[in-house]
Structure 1
Amino acid sequence: MLLCRGIEYQSMRLPNLLGHETVQEVLEQASTWIPLVQKQCHPDTRKFLCSLFAPVCIDDLDEIIQPCHSLCEEVKESCAPVMSAFGFPWPDMLDCSRFPKDNDLCIPLASSDHILPVTREAPKVCDACKNRNEDDNDIVENLCKNDFALKIKVKEIAYINGDTKITPETKSKTIYKLNGLTERDLRKIVLWLKGGLQCTCDEMNDINVPYLVMGQKQAGELVITSLKRWQKGQRAFKRFSRSIRKLQSPASSSSRLCPELSGLPAPSYFGPSKP
């Protein structure tokens, strides 16, 4: 199980502390918490979650060892704000009042003796989210080799089969480029960050801000190849806007590099017309 990879025991107890009765159910539910661990909001996030999803099975011990109340509180204090930034409240199933005090048999914070030692690996950064120092020519080349370029606000994030599914707000999409996309694609755009559960994307640490996304249509899906937080006035986005204007000017030499953009009107807004 990816969430608990590196914990030093081989057997887990079912049903677990969240009521999951099968391994398949555990795998499906646990995968949605991997991004929180990758945010590194607390060093014991993985330890806390694994004590719930994959409690250790110990011979001659009938009861499940629960996380200590203090472990839950510490992780909640550090990670609840991160979840809130993505529109997720701290769930009732992780209510810290249900867990025993530290003087009982329970899984403590890392400062105490380790019952569940873990091995932490440096998280891999998603390729689409890596910071790159791009000049105007790089921006033009990147824009031309992709099928779409959109400025979006995020409505919803989900995780399916290891990929990150991003649903934009319909009324907040600005279209800079569309190549080979149908009207059906436009009506309900869904974007995919492939392998998003196995990598981190610090660019997306707040879904309340707009993003510039570029990508390609692959096997019917809109796959993100570049994702950047849109910061108005930032030098990189001034260069991007300048490059767009060059590409949309028929007289510009840059337009010959990306002919499908030549002569197009200014960036369009997808959704209800603006007053």
Structure 2
Amino acid sequence: MNTVTLNNGVKMPQLGFGVYQIPLEETAEAVYQAIKVGYRLLDTAIAYGNEVETGEAIQRAITEGLVTREELFVTTKLFIQHVGEEKAMKAIDESLERMQLDYLDLFLIHQPYGDVYGAWRALATAQSAGKIRAIGVSNFDTGKLIEFSHMNGVAKVQVNQIEVNPWNQRLTDEAYHEKLSIQMEAWAPFAEGRLDLFKNETLSKIGKQYGKSVGQVILKWLMQRGIVALAKSVRPERMAENIDIFDFELTVEDMATITALDKQESAFFDHNDPERVEWFMGLLS
């Protein structure tokens, strides 16, 4: 498995398994199978409601000798109701308890709303105490990320997890992440199949050259850009397919062809849209 080195020296697997929207009753088995197939980066969040099940799978895999705790890189996230220093400190401890872990490898602020500066102080304190190895944010646009990086006054941001896929490639954002030495991590690399992504003729044609699927081409494209990516499936055969991407390389021409697909717009929603921000603020009332 390829790894990237974060700005605090922590090594992070470049391809991970995400548990968003996996049915609760299937989560523990899906995470266990993902570990069995070879995934070492696991991504959950308080808002997903499946930290307990994710933790159960981790403990099962460790008990059975599939992995050691040190071989795994486990991520979770603070949701908007848990920002603010005191709330965040409590939430961090509760996540550790739910997942039956002594430490987490990465803890992110899930959304760019509310008292993110207070939450950041809590994450930095937990990092100093050894409860968290790396800290970061999620869904921060580049302007917000620049401001936050310069103004938090506590600790460096190691990771920003944002939507990145062929329809929303974030090329300008990538340049600023590199400038700030912040690792970009992609959620929804397949855009949940929107706009018939898996049937796209351009991506299919590239895949046929290497005997690979559209999904494999997309993940390889992200790997070659140096971006960490999260893939999700409850089917072991698809998990195995998604991780089988380290035996081929896309050419410069392939990469340019994929770049031409960029629509420069979210396949989901704009985090700066006033109605969306208003909705998030309603969660705090």
Q: What is the TM-score normalised by the length of structure 1?
A: 0.21
Task: Please say which structure displays the higher CA radius of gyration.
Answer: 1
**Normalising by structure 2, what TM-score?**
0.20
Q: Going by fraction, where is helix more abundant, 1 or 2?
A: 2
